[in-house]
Amino acid sequence: MSSRALDCPVIVSCGDPSGIGPELAARAWEHFGARLPFVWIGDPAHLPRGTKIREISQPSEASTHASAGLPVLPHPFPAAAEPGKPDPANARAVIDVIARGVDLVMRGQGSALCTAPIHKKALHDGAGFAFPGHTEFLAHLAGVDRVVMMLASSNATPPLRVVPATIHIALADVPTAFTPQLLRDTVRITAQGLRRDFGFDTPRIAVAGLNPHAGEGGAMGHEELDWMNDEIASLRAEGYALSGPLPADTLFHARARQTYDAVICAYHDQALIPIKTLDFDGGVNITLGLPFVRTSPDHGTAYDIAGLGRANPASLIAALEMAARMGAARGA
């Protein structure tokens, strides 16, 4: 393990304490122990009863204590956490923990930030949270205008990395929102992330068509002919290794995945259905374009099973492993 990993561990924000985040953190520590020290920020009282913890005062202490217990940077919350029932009184503290985690990684005290799931409506109702989600709030804290969401598999072979250019909008709004400028920004940020965080010198990026069969020469839609072909050619002339627009229905099988390092999709389900089908438990949510590494498990708060001991820690474990690798790549 590198000295950087010991001095700058992955920082984990607690997320909604009424969801499955605290129990997943405890189980991730049981999985890793001292092999991958990480620091959990939250209220120790919200962790499952019997969790072995070691309260620390700064992240660099994590490696010393990780073999004996989960390293915790205490952050008191005003209310207890009842599984499955978010308390508005805790909303502000959830937000503050995220900001504290960002501050630590921005100051170099953590190699990466891994965020446990939040519930946006609970934060809005309890603290007036004004952001559509985690990603937009992190971009705001970092002072970044444009970021990109990537979902990456941990278990699929060949691996799959997907980037939805448009995210949480109605399907009817996608053709208007998916513009040449958005595609340009998405390609550039994705390529930079693949180089900086994944070690691809010349990343190969596929672009899915918006329409069935990538429009089939205008028979099934015109966006590919109207602007996508020209935009991709222009980006190719800048030096990007792009292919497309390609029919999405033949883009995700094993042989196709060998031809690219990431694929940019036009909309949410075009990207997320294939990766969740291929690697439901091992998918990792990554935010590209931030001045620090951020990963997250690819699932929500799961209020329906919180506190029952049934939550699967695989996605958080994968998110921690990916965060550590990406943090090491940036620190190299």
At 218, the amino acid letter reads G
Task: Confirm whether 48 is domain-assigned.
Answer: yes
Confirm or deny that 213 is annotated as ligand binding.
Answer: yes
Task: Confirm whether 205 is domain-assigned.
Answer: yes
Confirm or deny that 285 is annotated as ligand binding.
Answer: yes
Whether 170 and 308 share a structural domain: no
d(CA 184, CA 269): 20
Whether 213 and 312 share a structural domain: no
Whether 89 and 111 share a structural domain: yes
Confirm or deny that 276 is annotated as ligand binding.
Answer: yes
Task: Confirm whether 127 is domain-assigned.
Answer: yes
Q: Note the pTM of the prediction, 2 decimals.
A: 0.94
Instruction: Specify the number of domains making up the chain.
Output: 2
Whether 99 and 130 share a structural domain: yes
CATH number where 55 lies? 3.40.718.10
Whether 206 and 297 share a structural domain: no
Confirm or deny that 4 is annotated as ligand binding.
Answer: no
Whether 32 and 131 share a structural domain: yes
Whether 260 and 325 share a structural domain: no
Task: Confirm whether 284 is domain-assigned.
Answer: no
Confirm or deny that 294 is annotated as ligand binding.
Answer: yes
Whether 123 and 166 share a structural domain: no
Whether 272 and 298 share a structural domain: no
Assigned token pair, 53: 């913890």
pLDDT tens-digit series, residues 37-77: 999 999 999 999 999 999 999 999 999 999 999 999 999 99
Task: Confirm whether 285 is domain-assigned.
Answer: no
pLDDT at residue 2 is higher than 60: no
Spatial strand order of the sheet with 10-13 comes to: 53-55, 70-74, 38-42, 10-13, 112-115, 294-297, 284-288, 148-152, 161-164, 262-265, 204-208, 241-246
d(CA 211, CA 201): 31
Whether 134 and 6 share a structural domain: yes
Whether 27 and 142 share a structural domain: yes
By C-alpha distance, which of 84, 71, 82 is closest to 6? 71
Whether 220 and 109 share a structural domain: no
Confirm or deny that 135 is annotated as ligand binding.
Answer: yes
- Owning domain of residue 119: 1-146+290-332
pLDDT tens-digit series, residues 158-205: 999 999 999 989 999 999 999 999 999 999 999 999 999 999 999 999
> 108 near 92, Cβ under 8 Å?
no
pLDDT at residue 88 is higher than 60: yes
Task: Confirm whether 151 is domain-assigned.
Answer: no
Confirm or deny that 51 is annotated as ligand binding.
Answer: no
